[in-house]
Amino acid sequence: MTFRPDPAAWRLCVAPMMDWTDRHCRYFHRLLSPHARLYTEMVTSAALVHGDRLHLLEHSHEEHPIALQLGGSEPAELAQAARHGAAAGYDEINLNVGCPSDRVQSGRFGACLMREPALVADCVRAMREAVEVPVTVKCRIGVDEQDEYADLQRFAEAMLGAGVEVLVVHARKAWLQGLSPKQNREVPPLDYARVYRLKREFPQLTVVINGGITALAQLRGHLAHVDGAMLGRAAYHDPYLLAEADAALWGGTPPTREAALRAMRVYVEAELARGTRLKHIARHLLGLYHGQPGGRAFRRILSERAHRDDAGWEVVEAALDAVQAPARDAA
């Protein structure tokens, strides 16, 4: 299907991160940032077509705008998975062409697909024909021996030919052999200039840059060259950065850390009532007081007490009290 994306809709995004950006994390991030575009963890098309769709697609209404990220390389299966995602209410279907892990490679999806732009284009066409929501692609600037801008250029041309209008580009090349995914987070170096060039030469593309963005000043700098910026680990380890970025880009005053935390109470208690353990939610809150007085005590209390079978909101209150104690003592 054809759509004309508003580039502003991708101005601030939170990257899909395996084991991190689950529905509890996304709900918390939405409280911090009303405007950021949120992404699910990657879900394989096979799991979605043949597995527990209700579980895999579960999300809260409050999370929107939210994108479902799919991994796969079989056009018909991806199209079916995309239909399930659109039917579940997701605002975007994103194809992963950037993950370098061995498990992903063995399934012939993720970053290894950058070597096969024609196949990726076929996948995108099938998905676009299946759904009316935007179908986007998240890729790298290259993979292994692909070390020239021309490789990224050819990939972008193939995506445009398939109808892609939004491309999220992780500005680091993926090494599929010889480096672990963890090592590949730091090596080889980031090449933001290559992504900027892509935007200049393909102005019709909405280009979102990803990789190594850890501060508001960096984010602002990137937005002078591309349409959007996607925060990854920084949004998880220092989530209040999302609140500051949202206020800087759209105006208004960010909620205080305490206000954002207390706004989680209704959600947490509802989840506890349905059998969710506090530890599954609390782990996403650990970085809220990153770099703040009392932040270490906040993390320690949540880490030590949230895993208990009977842990409830009182654990969060205790962690918050530990943060506020230094200010009370100083007064």
Could you give the CA distance from residue 230 to residue 228 in angstroms, rounded to a whole number? 7
**For residues 204-227, average pLDDT:** 97
Residue 302 structure tokens: 């949540």
Residue 99: per-residue pLDDT:
85
Segment 311-331 mean pLDDT: 85
Residue 1's pLDDT band, with cuts at 50, 70 and 90, is very low
Query: pTM value?
Result: 0.93
Is 13 marked active-site? Answer: no
Sign of the alpha-carbon dihedral angle for 248, 249, 255, 256 = negative
What is the average per-residue pLDDT within 303-330?
A: 90
Query: Distance (Å, rounded) from C-alpha 289 to C-alpha 239?
Result: 9
Residue 116's SS3 state is: coil
DSSP 13: E
Q: What is the pLDDT of residues 70-93, one digit of tens each?
A: 999 999 999 999 999 999 999 999
Interacting residues of 150 by C-beta distance below 8 A, sequence separation 6+: none
pLDDT, position 102? 63
Confidence of residue 106 (pLDDT cuts 50, 70, 90): low
Per-residue pLDDT reduced to its tens digit, 146-179: 778 999 999 999 999 999 999 999 999 987 765 5
Q: What is the pLDDT of residue 183?
A: 53
Q: Which of 13, 25, 99, 139 is catalytic?
A: 99
Residue pair 230/210 in contact (Cβ under 8 Å)? The answer is: yes
User: What pLDDT score does 55 carry?
Assistant: 95
Q: Which residue has the tokens 């096969």?
A: 116
Whether the predicted pLDDT of 225 surpasses 80: yes
Q: Helix count (H) and strand count (E) of the chain?
A: 16, 9
